[in-house]
A and B are shown apart, each in its own frame.
Chain A
């Protein structure tokens, strides 16, 4: 190992340390931005070190440099442009897209490496060792699934692909067949056979598996899927590290693999669903769900804009409960305008943020922060739940299942899911387009509560009308 290589390896170590410390600093809102910059600095050091290593080793010809620089220019340009222009509401699908290309790159490394090894030798059995062939196959399988799976997830959130669950003809049979093909092909290669065509069978089966895995999952579950695929990409990158014998790839990949797994579990827990159930697709098909045995035949009270405006304007404490519908309608600015107006009239306004409000955990905080809602007004579920009793009005905008009191009883599909105690407020206004159900597919008992008034409108339009009505008072 010459001096340059030692320095570069130390640079990779510094980069890896930057990732760990950066993630740690993302624990708290106060240091999060700094943590991300630290992680970016670690990345820059690791990449610059790699460039130095390649330059001093003299192995790179002019074509090699052209490929590297052109690739960085194209990829960097696209990444920078999309990241800067994306609307904050469209951000989850962009994360999914970046995830797809990361997984794709990891798979390409293993594919390229294998083709070269296979081409470099006469076809003797056992000429590619298990130490290489195991991570190669794992990298291609995981990276391939992530690539197409993330593209489908992104397409569903963008609306290019219908968000509703799409059943693949033959469903589980196709999945099982693909898994069997990959298993047989992988074992064939691990037994010491060298075959590029078999490698392509694995690639094709993995890519197809990614599509059939995500298509049957509904749009509302995409956050969990994206998080899971994020974890997959990390694992694929770690496998690429094993293929190339590169520690920094292993460290960063394993870090992301572990973090993604934790995040996925946290998200699924908050929705009271198991990751396995989500991956099997569809809520409604679940057996053993008992029909909601709540207060039947309750009537729904519809509320006019002016009545709602009066209730809000003359309240002392108002708690706003924003949900998925608000994110979809991009009504975050409208809700803030209403809140400002109420504050000017001396009303105390705060926001109750359910852990899974929006499209991803924390997504609602980002959307509201974008609309300049002061951070202290955003309150987490455990923190705000005791305060609903003192609230004169709870204004629910586009949230459904996370407010359903049925979750407190056993035997419903939402049982055990942590909910916001909206029904404890003195009165409740629900802005909603229709009586449609949330993704849990059950009626919300909150809507038939005598204290509840339903304001049937699109979130954005309804809030704009409320602003106008409050102004007119």
Chain B
């Protein structure tokens, strides 16, 4: 196993644990926006799509990478915009259950 792969595996496992820790505290109310928010984060695949598009020299590669870039951008842009639209609706709640807030910060 190469050092690079070992480093990548380390990052992978720690990121998974991080995901578990961060998510398990979210109240049910926010699960739908959260799912949508997480959905936009995997739009990071755009970075990978750009990398393969940059080095595409034959027609097949060019078509595949064009579709990948378009798909990934749709995921990123659409995901963040729709999540923001959802969360915008939670704006007016000055007295929003103080108990819940304490829980979130604790």
**Which A positions have Cβ atoms within 8 angstroms of B?**
12, 15, 19-20, 22-24, 26-33, 35-37, 39-40, 43, 46-47, 50-51, 54, 59-61, 63-64, 67-68, 70-72, 74-76, 78-80, 82-84, 86, 88, 91-92, 94-95, 98-99, 101-102, 104-106, 108-109, 111-113, 115-116, 119, 131, 226-227, 230, 233-234, 237-238, 240-242, 244-263, 266-267, 270, 353, 355, 358, 360-363, 365-366, 369-370, 372, 374-376, 378, 380, 383
B7-43 interface with A by 8 A CB criterion: 8, 11-13, 15-20, 22-43
Given A98-B39, A116-B61, A254-B15; A30-B101 close (CB under 8 Å)? yes
Q: Is the CB of A79 within 8 A of B54?
A: no
Given A26-B26, A40-B40, A79-B81; A230-B49 close (CB under 8 Å)? no
Q: Which of B51, B65, B86, B96 contacts A54 (CB 8 A)?
A: B51
Q: Could you show 17 A-B contacts with beta carbons less than 8 Å apart?
A: A28-B104, A30-B96, A32-B90, A39-B80, A70-B66, A74-B73, A76-B76, A79-B74, A83-B81, A98-B78, A102-B71, A105-B72, A109-B68, A116-B61, A230-B39, A233-B39, A252-B15
Q: Give the size range of B's interface with the partner.
A: 35 or more
- Min CB–CB distance A68 → chain B (angstroms): 5
Q: Is the CB of A227 within 8 A of B43?
A: no
- Min CB–CB distance B66 → chain A (angstroms): 5
- Supply 16 further A-B pairs (C-beta < 8 A) apart from A54-B51, A88-B85, A234-B38: A19-B44, A22-B37, A23-B22, A50-B50, A68-B69, A70-B70, A74-B73, A75-B69, A76-B76, A98-B78, A101-B71, A105-B68, A241-B48, A251-B15, A355-B28, A374-B92
Q: Is the CB of A108 within 8 A of B87?
A: no
Q: Cα distance A378–B93 when bound, in Å?
A: 10
Q: Is the CB of B68 within 8 A of A102?
A: no
**Chain A residues with Cβ under 8 A from B22's Cβ?**
20, 23-24, 255, 259
Q: Is the CB of A226 within 8 A of B52?
A: no
**Chain B residues with Cβ under 8 A from A71's Cβ?**
49, 53, 65-70, 72-73
**Chain A residues with Cβ under 8 A from B17's Cβ?**
258
Q: Is the CB of A267 within 8 A of B31?
A: yes
**Chain B residues with Cβ under 8 A from A29's Cβ?**
29-30, 90, 93, 96, 100
Which 6 pairs from chain A and chain B are nearest by CB?
A258-B19, A71-B69, A79-B78, A75-B73, A375-B93, A254-B15
**Which B positions have Cβ atoms within 8 angstroms of A?**
1-2, 4-5, 8, 11-13, 15-20, 22-58, 60-62, 64-93, 95-97, 100-101, 104-105
Instruction: Report whether over half of chain A's contact residues are helix, strand or loop; otherwise say mixed.
Output: helix
Q: Cα distance A33–B89 when bound, in Å?
A: 10
Q: Is the CB of A64 within 8 A of B53?
A: yes
Q: Cα distance A35–B25 when bound, in Å?
A: 14
Q: Is the CB of B92 within 8 A of A108?
A: no
Instruction: Report whether over half of chain B's contact residues are helix, strand or loop; otherwise say mixed.
Output: helix
Q: Is the CB of A46 within 8 A of B71?
A: no
Given A71-B68, A108-B65, A375-B92; A76-B73 close (CB under 8 Å)? yes
Q: Cα distance A30–B88 when bound, in Å?
A: 11
| Chain B, Cβ-Cβ closest to A363 | B32
Q: Cα distance A64–B16 when bound, in Å?
A: 33
**Chain B residues with Cβ under 8 A from A249's Cβ?**
44-45, 47-48
Q: Cα distance A71–B64 when bound, in Å?
A: 11
Q: Is the CB of A237 within 8 A of B44?
A: yes
Q: Is the CB of B101 within 8 A of A258?
A: no
**Chain B residues with Cβ under 8 A from A262's Cβ?**
19-20, 23-24
Q: Cα distance A177–B84 when bound, in Å?
A: 42
Q: Cα distance A256–B93 when bound, in Å?
A: 28
Q: Cα distance A37–B65 when bound, in Å?
A: 28
Q: Cα distance A372–B41 when bound, in Å?
A: 28
Q: Cα distance A241–B87 when bound, in Å?
A: 30
Q: Which of A19, A46, A245 has the most CB of B within 10 A?
A: A19
Q: Is the CB of B11 within 8 A of A247?
A: yes
**Chain A residues with Cβ under 8 A from B74's Cβ?**
75-76, 78-79, 98, 101
Q: Is the CB of B47 within 8 A of A50?
A: yes
Q: Is the CB of A233 within 8 A of B53?
A: no
